[in-house]
């Protein structure tokens, strides 16, 4: 079956989208189905592309749970930085998961990650769409230690997203 994946990738790289669509039944691996969905889209077959990509996105959401268990395993190994990165990826897909938030708040974490304002915490709030809270955290970090160039750029992007979200809310109210 690996040969089929290689063939699908080669066809995709060469822009032979119709060939991929014609061999759709052989696209069993997620990467192959992604290329199939994109191929359908590029061929203007939006409805079929939507079906393939919706199913793939649902599968990806289910598989995101692996990040939670990776976080637990890395915590057991004592590597809190990797554990934190894994749980952030998980929370981006499941922002309401209290158990994941508890994981970050637990005393087992060597860094007092959520007890003090930090860039990581600001990123989590931003990923969840809580831009105002993220901006408050960036401001606190700036007062405590200052923001480097990259962190300042991130804070500006969050500020832009907050403005866009606010404007979208106003537009929705005006439409009503």
pLDDT tens, residue by residue, 40-90? 999 999 999 999 999 999 998 888 889 988 998 988 888 888 988 899 888
Say what the pTM is: 0.51
How open is the CA angle 22-28-31, to the nearest 5 degrees? 95
Spatial contact of 158 and 121, defined as CB atoms under 8 Å apart: no
Q: Decide: residue 1, CB within 10 A, 0-12 exposed, 13-18 middle, 19+ buried.
A: exposed
Whether the Cβ atoms of residue 127 and residue 92 lie closer than 8 Å to each other: yes
Q: Which ranges in the chain belong to alpha helices (H)?
A: 2-13, 17-22, 30-42, 46-63, 65-76, 80-93, 98-105, 119-127, 131-144, 149-175
- Give the integer Cα–Cα distance in Å for 104 and 124: 11
Percent of the chain past pLDDT 90, that is, above it, reads: 27
Residue 95's CB is within 10 A of a number of other CB atoms, namely: 15
Tokens 């003090």 sit at which residue? 116
Of 131, 137, 134, 97, the residue nearest 117 (C-alpha): 137
């Amino acid at each position: 079956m690996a040969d089929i994946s290689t063939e699908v990738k080669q066809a995709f790289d060469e822009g032979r989208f119709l060939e991929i669509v014609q061999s759709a039944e052989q696209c069993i691996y997620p990467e192959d189905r992604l290329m199939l969905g994109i191929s359908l889209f590029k061929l203007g077959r939006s409805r079929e592309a939507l079906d393939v990509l919706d199913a793939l996105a649902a599968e990806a959401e289910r598989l995101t749970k692996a990040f939670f268990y990776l976080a637990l395993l890395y915590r057991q190994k004592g590597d809190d930085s990797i554990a934190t990165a894994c749980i952030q990826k998980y929370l981006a897909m499941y922002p309401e998961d209290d158990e994941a938030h508890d994981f970050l708040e637990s005393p087992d974490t060597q860094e007092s990650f959520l007890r003090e304002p930090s860039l990581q915490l600001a990123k989590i709030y931003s990923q969840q769409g809580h831009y105002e809270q993220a901006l408050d955290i960036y401001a606190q970090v700036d007062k405590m230690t200052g923001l480097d160039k990259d962190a300042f750029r991130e804070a500006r992007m969050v500020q832009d997203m907050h403005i866009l979200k606010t404007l979208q809310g106003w537009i929705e109210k005006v439409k009503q």
